[in-house]
Amino acid sequence: MPELPEVETVVAGLRREAVGRWIESVEILRDQHLHPSGAALAEGLTGRLLTDARRWGKIWMLDTDDGQTVVGHLRMSGQLRVHPLDEPRRDHVHLVATLSDGHELRWRDVRRFGWMHLVPTAEALDLPVFANLGPDALAMAEDEFVAALRGSRRGLKALLLGQDVIAGLGNIYVDEALFRSRLHPRLAGGRLGLARARRLYGEIRAVLDEAIAARGTSISQSYRGVDGRRGAYQEQLQIYGRGGQACLVCGRELLSAQVAGRTTVWCPGCQPRR
DNA sequence: GTCGATGTTATCAA
DNA sequence: TTTGATAACATCGA
């Protein structure tokens, strides 16, 4: 579910609604995917002040006043929400932190692919998940992006989806960026040339900026902000989820197929293979 | 009831 | 090096 714009929106929500509060207690409802363990998270966080929330790619982090950091990934269906204490808990809530302002921070994850680690802040970036993580998509410089594409024989869809070259893009925003750049998803990155690589870089930035401004994309149930609000970017999607429909630019029927293991939509007119 | 698909990614085979 | 299949899991819609 959440890609960079959604995680960015969640982190902004955590700053607004969780940072600056003390954690009074932590309740573990399901121990799975908590590291080193649910008990260690509860023990380490109880009585701590939340001092900051941040993000690298799709990974979120919450810092405490005593030099610890919770590092987490929402994967497909994770949500971080803040609720009043008396609001009923829904199914699939796995961890609850009671905050000093009468609210609860709840981690909910229906499909249970997500995870959290509690580590010393100074060691957070030593976690294996960061070992092959590329620069954050919003922090990456244009020349760095161009250089990364240049040597690659991977297709663009696989290349942008992989978090090793650029971190934060997922299935929605890769398809949107490729469509806006008029590039075929199977075209090898190394065959772009300077002008088209720059164009792609610019369109990635643009689509991410627009999606953040819209507070992310909410399709079906899954994605919500910390305050429970849906994003609005689903109303601005130009290609994702539109396979079989008419291209908004040229009117041709949009194609849909598995590329790099994910359903991919592109326009045979606007995004020629060539 | 069954099948296929869902915003992610680690791992293994070819 | 890169791709594809598979697995983790629950839910929804056809």
The tokens describing A173, both together, are 């925003």
Taking only the tens place, the pLDDT of each residue in A12-51 is: 999 999 999 999 999 999 999 999 999 999 999 999 999 9
Q: Quick check: A115 and A35 in contact, CB under 8 A?
A: yes
What average pLDDT is seen over chain A?
96
The verdict on residue A209 lying in a domain is: yes
Residue A222 pLDDT: 80
CA of A106 to C1' of B10 (A): 26
CA of A33 vs C1' of B3, distance in Å? 29
Based on the domain organization, do A125 and A150 belong to the same domain?
no
Residue A136 lies in a domain: no
| Minimum-distance residue to C13 (CA–C1') | A220
**Domain containing A119 — which CATH number?**
3.20.190.10
Residues A177/A181/A184/A190 CA torsion (nearest 10 deg): -100
Q: What residue numbers bound the domain in which A63 lies? A: 4-130
Task: Indicate if A158 and A253 belong to the same structural domain.
Answer: yes
Q: Which pLDDT band holds residue A5 (cuts at 50, 70, 90)?
A: very high
Q: Is the pTM of this model over 0.85?
A: yes
Judge whether residue A219 contacts strand C, using its CB and a 7 Å cut-off: no
CA of A261 to C1' of C7 (A): 14
**Angle value at C-alpha A234, between A229 and A235, nearest 5 degrees:** 105
pLDDT at A212 over 80: yes
User: What's the rounded Cα separation, in Å, for the pair A260 and A264?
Assistant: 9
Whether the per-residue pLDDT at A215 is higher than 90: the answer is: yes
